Amino acid sequence: MRRAVAVRLSALLAAGALTAATGVALSTTTASAASGGVTGYATQNGGTTGGAGGQTVRATTGTAIHQALCSRASSSTPITIQVEGTINHGNTAKVSGSSCNTAAGVIELKQISNVTIVGVGNGAVFDQLGIHIRESRNIIIQNVTVRNVKKSGSPTSNGGDAIGMESDVRNVWVDHVTLEASGGESEGYDGLFDMKDNTQYVTLSYSVLRNSGCGGLIGSSESDTSNGYVTFHHNLYENIDSRAPLLRGGIAHMYNNHYKRLNESGINSRAGARAKVDNNYFEDSKDVLGTFYTDAAGYWQVSGNVFDNVTWSSRSGDHNPAGPNPTSNTSVSIPYGFTLDGANCVPNVVAQTAGAGKGLKVSDGSCTPQSPDPTDPGPTDPGEPTDPGPTDPPAGTNLSLGAGADGSSKASGTSYGNVVDGNTGTYWSPSGSTGSVSVKWGSATTVSKVNIRLASGSGTIGAYRLLNHDTGAVLASGSGAGTVSFSPASLKKITLEITNASGTPRVAEFETYAS
């Protein structure tokens, strides 16, 4: 984008009464039942599985997300982080560890791999807080909203990008997310979905991008052409000034997207880039495809698109729209299978499937939204929380009874010993919202399960770690209370470290079990 352009929020409101066009579904490639799994270029280069096969933890703060990353055995240990609530600057701090590289005021996915972040329960909103992926691979982000991330003004985060990727990133699937701003560069915002500096094999699917000056870019300059192999499908771009997306070099595949009110320009293919543009619906927009703001030409292959009330400017200098009758000037071979909905029904099917909170619904190739296959091995079903809450004791002997206890701090009137006395009417509280309490024995004891019981009136544990105090190793991490299992460990002391809480936790019992 050559200049900052304020977003036409008033135009969005004025057009709110317009209804989406619907039509007959025309499948132009081999039909197959939708499963809700990873699609597009993210299926290539070994595929994208995120945290599949690893531990699942719950997080209600940005700090807890970072803590979950830092509590892994290594930077590549698979993990699924289920997120619920509002993540903002006030609850997102830097956490240190050998398996992470985090920062305050941004969700930092840096120099890591094999991670899924998925919104669950009542939903996850990253408010004025961006997600930054750097030097990482095999990442899934699903069912979250990221809004109003700024690069100027206050507060700032992630250079103003809702989701930004850079520096040797590979295999990212972003699915069923809502990315939105409240203006353009002059209001302090930047891109909604940016990739640069050798980012490849990315899919953005069933998502909403709206109310921004810049939809997103692939390549930060005319010399940054190492990015590509990106798929965009079944997304809604609404009230975007430009960059839907801007593609410098590389290959991108755009199919079954609904582009509505692209105010200045849309898909901007330049610097040798090649875009395959299939069965999209462009509506109430201007110059939706071409090479803009440069004399370094890009290319496109077009098929099956609908142009509904689209205006085209004259070609002049570095402004070269593909219309008014777009025709292909290259060919693009796609290595993966895909199923096309007919362009006429794209507005309807995208309205029912795209964005966070839509139940992860997908299209079956005949313009009929459906829930994902329950056997899909992808991210954990967001309707199934893993935090069990307080439970009856596990089977076996509570090893904490008769053991010793100590800790890092305690509130007035509480005692470390109260967590090992078998009495849920007494409790230990930290002197504040964070702190640690330990159970200890005179000789090595094997532990593989703990049960944390909270007393009546307790605050909520937002994030915790269970540590082998002898070695410092992290046995498990998560949030809330209840039972958690881990690989058997022989130790003399086990520590519950509370790193985030809402209110003051009251730990009535810290029960330990051999199995």
Residue (of 296, 300, 284, 198) closest to 245 by Cα position:
300
pLDDT band at 10 (very low <50, low <70, confident <90, very high): very low
Q: What is the pLDDT of residue 16?
A: 33
Q: What is the pLDDT of residue 393?
A: 54
Decide if 309 contacts 15 (C-beta within 8 A).
Answer: no
| Distance of alpha carbon 32 from alpha carbon 337, whole angstroms | 10
> pLDDT per residue over 459-471, tens digit each?
888 788 898 998 8
- Taking the alpha carbons of 19, 20, 21, 23 in that order, is the dihedral positive or negative? negative
SS3 content of the chain, % helix, strand, coil (to 5): 10, 45, 50
% of the chain surpassing 70 pLDDT: 89
Residue 243 a catalytic site member: yes
Q: What is the pLDDT of residue 26?
A: 29
> pLDDT per residue over 375-429, tens digit each?
443 433 333 333 333 334 566 888 998 899 999 888 888 999 999 988 887 899 9
pLDDT of residue 2 exceeding 80, the answer is no
| Distance of alpha carbon 179 from alpha carbon 195, whole angstroms | 15
pLDDT of residue 236 exceeding 50, the answer is yes
Q: Where would I find the H helices in 219-309?
A: none
| Distance of alpha carbon 295 from alpha carbon 104, whole angstroms | 40
How confident is the prediction for the chain on average, in pLDDT? Answer: 88
| Distance of alpha carbon 106 from alpha carbon 168, whole angstroms | 19
Marked catalytic residue, from 58, 243, 248, 506 = 243
Single-letter amino acid code for the residue at 331 = S
Considering the entire predicted model, what is its pTM? 0.70
Decide if 191 contacts 217 (C-beta within 8 A).
Answer: yes
28-32, 109-113, 143-147: range with lowest mean pLDDT: 28-32
> pLDDT per residue over 268-279, tens digit each?
999 999 999 999
